[in-house]
Amino acid sequence: MKTRPHSPAGLPPSRPLLPAQQACGASHHPNRARQRQRGLSLLELLIALLLGLVLLGAVSTAYLANRQTFRQVENLARVNENARTTFELLGRELREAGGTHCGARVPTANVVRAAVNPPWWSDWGRGLQGYESNQELPAALPQIDNTPNPAATRRVPGTDALIIWSGSVLPPVSIVVHNPPAASLQVVNANHGLNDGDIVMACDMAQAAIFQISNSNPANSTIVHNTGAVVQPGNCRRELGLSPAPPHDCSTAGSDHSFAGGGFLGRLSASAWYIGFNGRGGTSLYRAALSSTNGVAGAAPEEVIENVTDLELQYLEPNAAGALPAAYVDANLVTDWNRVQAVRLEPTFVTAEAVGTDGNPINRPLPFVVGIRTRLP
């Protein structure tokens, strides 16, 4: 017979530990617990930090490379956009050089008063004229600025320039009544958009006439081409007919001519294109276009495209027999601007930021050729 183990007085008899309890108790040995709670060693910590720095450096390098690539792509995209805009705006005007809504071969009387030095915009028969990098534009247009602190809108040294004459892109309006003795025209539409001082051309199947509007009355659709008005430079005569012999301008007397019945009236366009300082430390493509302010004809430069550093121009001029030359020539070698059939343009664009591999902005010359529509065979 088995006896129960004795226990101290007053306490319940103890029971022997089961095998599982013995194993559990053995695992709580103090030395073993301390071994399990031990932290990282200094060597392990240094290795972890090194691996983290290597990973961070790789990520940073990839980020910076991608950021630089993005900046390059974005800046070059802007260069391409500027090139397309230049081609659309300057190319469109060049294609229409010398053309008007009246045609290029209609005999034309020009009664706009010519001073001792005629305004730059008054030579409508030429169509276009180029200026080399060392040639100044006509008076009243921005000149080359060689000073250390160039003024805004002034022309950049070493860049070519160009003047274009043509009809306006705005549609002409039909002439309903013309009273030559009263020097007045009545057009079909009161919303014609013509103002006092505008330079316009009236024409029909027989002839054309260039004059300055001395008074415009939208209420009754009347356009006046009188002399002695406050507009400048004004008209030298009210008669819009041709002279007995060329030139049909203020140097000769003209006859009366009525444009009523089949005639129409439209605005003329004259513009100078050049590279100018923009006042922000850079250069831009500028356009000085003929306009009228309070009846005074003139031109104010306007910035068209920024970050354009150069403009090189050459011209294709056939000889008197119509044979094409072997190459394009500079403006100072053109003998007759009325024979020029095409223009080769090479504008140079620069990125807005220094995104080149050498740490500088990227320059891109992008040449293109424009044919003059009214002169091509």
pLDDT tens-place string over residues 159-184: 999 999 998 878 899 999 999 999 99
β-pairing, 161-167 with 222-224? unpaired
Task: Report pLDDT for 219.
Answer: 79
Q: How many domains does the chain have?
A: 1
The reply to whether 195 falls in a domain is yes
Measured between alpha carbons, how far apart are the two ends of the chain, in Å?
Answer: 136
**Which DSSP category does 147 fall into?**
S
82: Cβ contacts below 8 Å, ≥ 6 apart: 305, 306, 307, 308, 349
For range 248-256, the mean pLDDT: 89
Judged by average pLDDT, the poorest of 109-118, 202-211, 223-232, 358-367 is 109-118
Listed residue (62, 138, 127, 146) closest to 268, CA to CA = 127
Tokens 């050729």, located at residue = 369
* Single-letter amino acid code for the residue at 245: A
The reply to whether 66 falls in a domain is no
Query: In whole angstroms, what is the distance from residue 178 CA to residue 49 CA?
Result: 93
The reply to whether 197 falls in a domain is yes
Output the CA angle 64-65-70, nearest 5 degrees: 95
Question: Residue 207 — very low, low, confident or very high, per pLDDT cuts 50/70/90?
Answer: very high
Query: In whole angstroms, what is the distance from residue 124 CA to residue 249 CA?
Result: 12
Query: In whole angstroms, what is the distance from residue 201 CA to residue 248 CA?
Result: 14
Residue 5 has pLDDT above 80, yes or no: no
Tokens 């500028």, located at residue = 286
Judged by average pLDDT, the poorest of 16-30, 101-115, 340-354 is 16-30
Q: How many secondary structure helices (H) and strands (E) does the chain include?
A: 3, 16
Domain ranges, residue 320: 74-371
Query: In whole angstroms, what is the distance from residue 271 CA to residue 267 CA?
Result: 13
Pick the residue with more confidence: 192 or 283?
283
The reply to whether 35 falls in a domain is no
* Single-letter amino acid code for the residue at 290: L
CA 195 to chain centre: 27
Q: What is the mean pLDDT of the chain?
A: 87
Residue 83 has pLDDT above 70, yes or no: yes
Judged by average pLDDT, the poorest of 17-26, 84-93, 149-158 is 17-26
The reply to whether 9 falls in a domain is no
Query: What proportions of the chain, in percent to the nearest 5, are helix, strand and coil?
Result: 20, 30, 50
Query: In whole angstroms, what is the distance from residue 220 CA to residue 176 CA?
Result: 12
Question: Residue 203 — very low, low, confident or very high, per pLDDT cuts 50/70/90?
Answer: very high
The reply to whether 336 falls in a domain is yes
Output the CA angle 212-216-219, nearest 5 degrees: 165
290 within 8 A of 270, measured Cβ to Cβ:
yes
* Single-letter amino acid code for the residue at 344: R
